[in-house]
Structure 1
Amino acid sequence: MEPKRLNKFISDTGFCSRREADRLIEEGRVTVNGKEPEAGIKVTPKDKVRIDDQLLSVRDEAPVYLVLNKPSGLSATADMEVRDNVVRAINHPASLLPVGKLDREDEGVLFLSNDSDFVRKLTKMDTRLEKELIVTVNKPISSDFIAKLSESCASFEEGTPKKAVINKEATTRFRIVLEPGMNHTLKKTCEALGYKVTFMQRVRVNNITLTKLQKGHWRTLTSQEIEALKQISSSKAVTAPAKSKQDYKGNTSGLNRAATEKGAYQKPGKLGGATETAGAGKRIGKSRPATAGSGKGTRGGAKGPTGRGGAAGKPGASRGGSKPAAGGRGAAPKRSSKR
């Protein structure tokens, strides 16, 4: 392994993010070979890096890129001090990190990878990802609320204002498409308009949907999906011109026209041609060893004829440190709160 900057080395162990690693270094809690590190130091696996006397190590493992249909009750974090986190539930041999944020009570598309650069860059470019969400609120939805929410999420990139597409699906439920550059803080925006979000499901991110991916199951991303996400993570964000809501002269009647163009969102495409070799439909739970370089490491259980696990089992207890279990499909952990 080539020498790495100390903060990246710490991040690659899954201990914390680079920013948090920088803070720990500044606080004097990190040592390299028993000494306080110099600024800009680079380390290798041969060096002994400790945080508060805890020895860290980076495993030389093949890159892994997964998509999980996250169930409610799991925390989207790699922090092992947090109960019922997604990394522990998947119990994958790789040192996975979740991409972006998805609240414990929310469900849907969540990416995970052991490629720390990919995770960091894609998390930073979160608003460059197009997302489709189904949202339930605490009271009946009015046409005024839909119009105001659509405008509040509008994008002003390249000087062309564009509202979010919103379709009312039930008395208290709506579907919304947030395109790149739009306001993605949906819960706060709803609260500002007098509505509280009681449930949220992220059904699509770009062209990656929950099609054929049951709740609590995961699969390996295809090479085309990985490449598309890497292009987004490496791109530069477009700086939107400074505009206020008063500058927006859009007609709310345009929402109806936009809704008629929404067919592609109502019938999302297949998951990039996912097959058994892509790890389709693995259930969070038990594991079996990964084959180096294959990208098919499973903690979702041994594959059956359909690429899914067999009998039910308990979720794994740790990331990479658990003993490989016999093939099986583990049940999603029960909902609980942070410790």
Structure 2
Amino acid sequence: MGVERLDRLLARLGLGSRKEVGRLIRRGQVRVGGAVVLDPGFKVGEGALLEVEGKPIRAFRHLHVLLHKPGGYVTSRTEGPSVYALLQGFPTRDLSPVGRLDKDTEGLLLFTTHGELLHRLTHPRHKVEKRYLVHLERPATPEDQRAFQEGLLLEGERLLPAKLVLGEDPTRVELVLKEGRYHQVKRMFAQRGNRVLYLKRLALGPLELGDLPVGAARALSPEEAAALYQAVGLGGKNP
């Protein structure tokens, strides 16, 4: 990042448009290194400690945004309704999705400006876990658990071992994968003679969807970004 204009940096971090953050700055609502800055063009260095309306943030090179994707939206820039329409206030031109969720699938969808992080989070070699809530047409069984754990043979290809968690209601299960193939969850259960009625991603590696409202998006905290980097062997890099 080097140095960057204060108004551009705050807009890139999702704190409003350049015009909106410019007004914040001129009202004295932004501090850099503890000092009030009134000039939107003030140059900010990487790692600088900022305060916006009393809330501390760090100026980092890359931006990572977590979206609670609703059903009915597509992970695409060219088709609609697009998940990018939900990233209000964020620089959507610079953000790429970490994998995709089907139109009818809900839950955690991560966007990032960091190409190497994106690659490592999606490549099977790094075995980043993805946890899903799955509603099924009929109950899952211990035999399904064993088949998934052994690595299901799907259209001639052996999948990585997956963990199927059965609760009190075996039509409501959790599934943990370490890869992300096309329609994988639906195809896995179809292979076992079952049908997915509802699918929601709850977690990606160390990231949890938590109580983020459906359709809402937020920037990751520095601690969350650092945990992601650590999970894929980029622990020494600046998030």
Do both proteins adopt the same fold according to a TM-score greater than 0.5, normalized to the shorter chain? Answer: yes
Residues 1:182 and 1:122: Cα distance change in structure 2 (over 3 Å): closer
Q: Could you say what secondary structure the match of 2:86 adopts?
A: helix
Residue of structure 2 equivalent to 1:91: 88
**1:171, distance to aligned residue in structure 2 (A):** 4.7
Alignment of 1:242-261 (within 5 A): none
**1:98, distance to aligned residue in structure 2 (A):** 0.9
Residue of structure 2 equivalent to 1:196: 195
Residue of structure 2 equivalent to 1:212: 211
The one-character-per-residue Cα deviations of 1:153-192 (angstroms, maximum 9, x if unpaired) are 69xxxxxx976242234252211233x4799933222111
Residue of structure 2 equivalent to 1:70: 69
CA RMSD, Structure 1 to Structure 2 (Å): 3.4
Amino acid at match of 1:91: Q
Amino acid at match of 1:86: V
Residue of structure 1 equivalent to 2:103: 104
Q: Please give the alpha-carbon distance, in whole angstroms, between the structure 1 residues aligned to 2:210 and 2:104.
A: 21
Amino acid at match of 1:122: L
The one-character-per-residue Cα deviations of 1:106-162 (angstroms, maximum 9, x if unpaired) are 1111111233343334333586212221111222333433332343369xxxxxx97
| Contact 1:150-1:166 within 8 A present in 2 as well | no
Residues 1:170 and 1:227: Cα distance change in structure 2 (over 3 Å): same
More strand by share: 2
Alignment of 1:1-339 (within 5 A): 63-77=62-76, 79=77, 81-94=78-91, 95=93, 96-125=95-124, 128-152=127-151, 164-178=163-177, 180=178, 185-234=184-233
User: TM-score normalised to the size of structure 1?
Assistant: 0.43
User: TM-score normalised to the size of structure 2?
Assistant: 0.59
| Contact 2:71-2:106 within 8 A present in 1 as well | yes
- The higher radius of gyration belongs to 1
Amino acid at match of 1:230: Y
Q: Please give the alpha-carbon distance, in whole angstroms, between the structure 1 residues aligned to 2:207 and 2:137.
A: 29
Aligned length: 169
Please list every run of 5 or more consecutive structure 2 residues that lacks an aligned counterpart in the other structure: 3-59, 154-159
Please list every run of 5 or more consecutive structure 1 residues that lacks an aligned counterpart in the other structure: 3-60, 155-160, 236-294, 296-339
| Contact 1:152-1:183 within 8 A present in 2 as well | no
Q: Please give the alpha-carbon distance, in whole angstroms, between the structure 1 residues aligned to 2:125 and 2:70.
A: 21
| Contact 1:64-1:115 within 8 A present in 2 as well | yes
The one-character-per-residue Cα deviations of 1:56-96 (angstroms, maximum 9, x if unpaired) are xxxxx96321111111111122x2x2011111221334122
Q: Could you say what secondary structure the match of 2:71 adopts?
A: coil
